[in-house]
A and B are shown apart, each in its own frame.
Chain A
């Protein structure tokens, strides 16, 4: 038996190492017509680096929808510092900002000197040297993207964040499920759980250190909390019936969830330290998909108490419930924008299931995606982008869209289905 177990374990490890290479590769599908032209000049002396820093920065900024990077072949000069920038030349190319830099090696580390210039103002806006080991070059590039993005837009950059997502491959009893965490651009993917039973609903703790998720590995659904650095985990709930849709409160102390232990699915709030659960909804219909408001005082949830699924808001203090969505007959799985003024949700419209935004003040709902089959919207911590699951050629892929719907990208996997993306909070 021991040998058998060892063989299984080896098989698992082999499988895990194969799947661990499943990076997602970005395809920009639509640029924003309001994007600001910017030039990210290839960094001097960066040719023999394992990573192309300027390209990573350029991809980050383009993906945001706020910027349209100039193609490299259109750059007829390649300054590496502010002193070398001839502003008139770049102005003639209609470039409004320029990033230039130089890389120097110091032992095992790289010093990356970068500067940001305002072309029309003919002035330097930012200059800094970032030191990184060879393994940290992508992180250093995302850090530079964050600084450039914030200096120009006044919005904190969210390029140094991560996403969690679920994959599946195969059909029927042979299906394999896995939970991954990668950089926000789909690279540096790491598999943190694999199973031959479904895995669902990854949710980040507000400090970015843990994931809660649903796993069917005991052939019953249960909610687990896993620490990402140690891999240690605990089973938080395994009540009879559904154990689903975990969502962390902004203070990290409570977990909202949907349980059906008392009959039909209702929303409960668990005190994580004490492990006691309190039921907060009470009606004869389905209540599920809870999401916390940024101030932690209310929950969004999906309920079909009106017939079909619609979004409701529950004030936790008073227990008052209010229906929020009235456009169409299918609105589900809402998430607050970080400023709390709007919600992102799945809306069934004329072209199927779409990611939509509803302004809470006006109640106006606007569809952001034009293709059907969208699921699981998750908002970047700075509110500028939404990542979601969609379909491409019959496979599940991740899609991203700017919060105004103008720019979009896709993150397909090399094989299998990808779904249920969850964007991490700020990590630095």
Chain B
């Protein structure tokens, strides 16, 4: 998850191609997706995200010209949490403040806050806990003046671990919120 923005854009494009070609059912009925009731926002959501990343990719390409600090996505894009907690740790407040400043300075930029938990406990309850962590970050950004329209929350619960293993070191790396631009 620490790819550079342009690499992420490429990865997204490839993964979209992969989804289009492959994440279909045994019968390959992808067309049914868009006809399914409630299935109205698939393209919109995916495209919106890809566009946001595309803009950042261009901006990243100008890094050599020493763009102003507010013009760059902050380097640190993952913050970590204590067990069974959605409290923002003091050490990560400067990270959130930097993201808030960037988002305020770039109203066209948007971020997806990806909430994660460690593997302990049930999967669906963990999905809810991951959302609670990402919500806590969103509230913090909103208090700092970031427009709610720039921020979206997606919880992955324990489904996308950053580290494997049944030990506190792995658990600590997995209890996180990732800023995905």
Contact = CB atoms under 8 A, between A and B. Distances in A.
Interface of A: 4-5, 8-9, 11-12, 15-16, 171-173, 175, 190-198, 200-201, 215-222, 224, 226, 230-239, 241-242, 244-245, 258, 260, 264-265, 275, 286, 288-289, 302, 304, 309, 330, 332-333, 346, 348, 353, 373, 375-376, 391, 394, 419-420
B124 A289 contact: yes
5 contacts: A198-B160, A231-B26, A235-B36, A265-B128, A289-B124
Nearest to B164: A171
B127 interface: yes
A130 B32 CA distance: 40
A216 B17 contact: no
A275 B49 contact: no
Nearest to B40: A238
How many chain B residues sit at the interface, stated as a range, is 35 or more
B42 to A, nearest CB: 5
A288 B127 contact: yes
Interface in B4-34: 11, 15, 17-23, 25-29, 32-33
Instruction: Report whether over half of chain B's contact residues are helix, strand or loop; otherwise say mixed.
Output: mixed
A238 B42 contact: yes
B59 interface: no
Contacts of B124: 200-201, 244-245, 258, 288-289, 302, 333
A394 B122 contact: no
B153 interface: yes
Contacts of B88: none
A244 B129 CA distance: 13
B22 A234 contact: no
B125 A8 contact: no
Contacts of A244: 124, 127-128
A242 B120 CA distance: 19
A5 B154 contact: no
B1 A233 contact: no
Contact of A353 (B28, B121, B159): B121
Nearest to B19: A217
Contact of A8 (B11, B21, B120, B156): B21
A348 B11 CA distance: 39
Nearest to A290: B124
B139 to A, nearest CB: 12
Contacts of A216: 156, 159
Given A8-B17, A198-B159, A238 B38 contact: yes
A185 B156 CA distance: 30
